[in-house]
Amino acid sequence: MTEERLEELLSQMTLKEKIGQLSQGQIYRPDCEKSVREGSIGSVIAGGRPMSNDLQRVAVEQSRLGIPLLVAYDVIHGYRTIFPIPLGQAAAWNPKLTEEAARIAAREAASEWIRWTYAPMVDIARDPRWGRIAEGSGEDTYLDSTLGAAMVRGFQGKNLSDPEHIAACVKHYAAYGAAEGGRDYNTVDMSERTLRDVYLPPFEACVNAGVATIMSAFDELNGVPSTGNPFLLRQVLRDEWKFKGVVISDADAVHELVLHGISANDKDAARVAFLAGVDVEMFTATYRSNLEALVAEDKVPMQVIDDSVRRVLRLKWELGLFEKPFARPNPDEVLLAKEHLDVAREFARQSLVLLKNENRTLPLWKEMPSIAVIGPLADNGADQLGTWRGHGDGKESRTALQAIREAISKNTHINYAVGVESCLSTNRSGFDEAVRAAKESAIAVMFVGESATQSGEAASRAYLSLSSAQLDLIKAVQATGTPLVIVLMAGRPLELGEVLDAAPAVLMAWDPGTMGGPAIADVLFGEYSPSGKLPISWPRTIGQVPIYYNHKSTGRPWVDPLRLPSATRHVYLSGYNDMVATPRFPFGYGLSYTQFEYSNIRVDPQHIKLGESARVTARITNVGNRAGDEVVQLYIRDLVASISRPVRELKGFQRITLEQGKSQDVEFVLPSDALAFHNGEMKRVTEPGRYRVWVSSDSASGQPAEFDIE
Residue ranges per structural domain of the chain? 344-524, 596-709
The predicted model gives 588-607 an average pLDDT of 98
Classify 702 as helix, strand or coil. coil
| pLDDT recorded at residue 573 | 83
Contact yes or no for 150/99 (Cβ under 8 A) = yes
Cα 391 to chain centroid distance, Å, stands at: 18
Question: How many CB atoms neighbour CB 563 within 10 A?
Answer: 7
| pLDDT recorded at residue 567 | 62
Sign, CA dihedral 568-572-573-579, equals positive
> What does the DSSP assignment read for 188-238?
E---HHHIIIIISHHHHHHHHTT-SEEEE-SSEETTEEGGG-HIIIIIIII
Give 450's Cβ-side CA count (13 Å radius): 29
Lowest mean pLDDT segment, chosen from 27-31, 179-183, 247-251, 609-613 = 27-31
Q: Does the pLDDT of residue 638 top 70, yes or no?
A: yes
Q: Does the pLDDT of residue 449 top 90, yes or no?
A: yes
Q: Does the pLDDT of residue 560 top 80, yes or no?
A: no
| pLDDT recorded at residue 577 | 83
Contact yes or no for 517/397 (Cβ under 8 A) = yes
Strand partners, 585: 538
| pLDDT recorded at residue 332 | 86
Query: At CA 161, angle to CA 158 and CA 167, rounded to 5?
Result: 75
DSSP one-letter code for 412: P
Contact yes or no for 632/640 (Cβ under 8 A) = no
| pLDDT recorded at residue 416 | 98
In the chain, what is the straight-line distance between the N-terminal and C-terminal CA atoms, in Å?
A: 50
Cis peptide before 174 (omega within 30 of 0): yes
Backbone phi, then psi, for 61, in 5-degree steps?
Answer: -105, -20
Q: Does the pLDDT of residue 334 top 90, yes or no?
A: yes
- Among residues 242, 243, 227, which one has the least CA distance to residue 282? 227
Residue type, 543: G
| pLDDT recorded at residue 562 | 67
> What does the DSSP assignment read for 567-588?
GG-S---SS-SSS-SS-SB-TT
pTM of the entire structure? 0.97
Strands (E), 36-158: 43-45, 70-73, 116-117
Q: Please state, rounded to an integer, the average pLDDT across all residues of the chain.
A: 96
Q: Does the pLDDT of residue 1 top 90, yes or no?
A: no
- Among residues 685, 675, 540, 684, which one has the least CA distance to residue 142? 675
The burial of 172, by beta-carbon neighbours within 10 Å (0-12 exposed, 13-18 middle, 19 or more buried), is given as: buried
Q: How confident is the model at residue 3 (pLDDT cuts 50, 70, 90)?
A: confident
| pLDDT recorded at residue 569 | 58
The contacts of residue 168 (CB under 8 Å, 6+ apart) are: 102, 117, 119, 120, 151, 152, 155, 156, 206, 211, 212, 213
Cis peptide before 201 (omega within 30 of 0): no
The contacts of residue 426 (CB under 8 Å, 6+ apart) are: 467, 468, 469
Q: Does the pLDDT of residue 49 top 90, yes or no?
A: no
Q: How far apart are CA 83 and CA 29, in angstroms?
A: 30
The contacts of residue 522 (CB under 8 Å, 6+ apart) are: 345, 349, 407, 528
The burial of 6, by beta-carbon neighbours within 10 Å (0-12 exposed, 13-18 middle, 19 or more buried), is given as: middle
Rg (CA), the chain: 26
Cis peptide before 363 (omega within 30 of 0): yes
Q: How far apart are CA 695 and CA 648, in angstroms?
A: 11
Q: How far apart are CA 360 and CA 507, in angstroms?
A: 13
Q: Does the pLDDT of residue 517 top 90, yes or no?
A: yes
Helix, strand, coil abundance in the chain, percent, nearest 5: 35, 20, 45
Q: How far apart are CA 492 and CA 508, in angstroms?
A: 10
Lowest mean pLDDT segment, chosen from 44-48, 319-323, 336-340 = 44-48
**pLDDT > 90 fraction of the chain, expressed in percent and rounded:** 93
Residue type, 474: I
Give 289's Cβ-side CA count (13 Å radius): 12
> What does the DSSP assignment read for 156-200?
H-S-TTSTT--B-EEEEETTGGG-GGG-TT-EE---HHHIIIIIS
Q: How far apart are CA 84 and CA 88, in angstroms?
A: 5
Q: Does the pLDDT of residue 662 top 80, yes or no?
A: yes
**Known catalytic membership, residue 629:** no
What does the pLDDT look like over 284-308, one tens digit per residue?
999 999 999 999 999 999 999 999 9
Cα 460 to chain centroid distance, Å, stands at: 16
Q: How far apart are CA 168 and CA 191, in angstroms?
A: 29
Q: How confident is the model at residue 568 (pLDDT cuts 50, 70, 90)?
A: low
- Among residues 245, 83, 96, 104, which one has the least CA distance to residue 165? 104
Report the CATH fold assignment for 596-709.
Answer: Immunoglobulin-like (2.60.40)
Residue 102 host element (H or E): helix 95-110
Q: How far apart are CA 352 and CA 447, in angstroms?
A: 14
- Among residues 528, 511, 527, 485, which one has the least CA distance to residue 384? 511
What does the pLDDT look like over 210-234, one tens digit per residue?
999 999 999 999 999 999 999 999 9
> What does the DSSP assignment read for 279-343?
-BB-SSSHHHHHHHHHHHTTSS-HHHHHHHHHHHHHHHHHTTTTT-TT----HHHHTT-HHHHHH
Q: How far apart are CA 651 and CA 654, in angstroms?
A: 11
Q: Which of 197, 219, 250, 698 is catalytic?
A: 250
Q: Does domain 344-524 have CATH number 3.40.50.720?
A: no
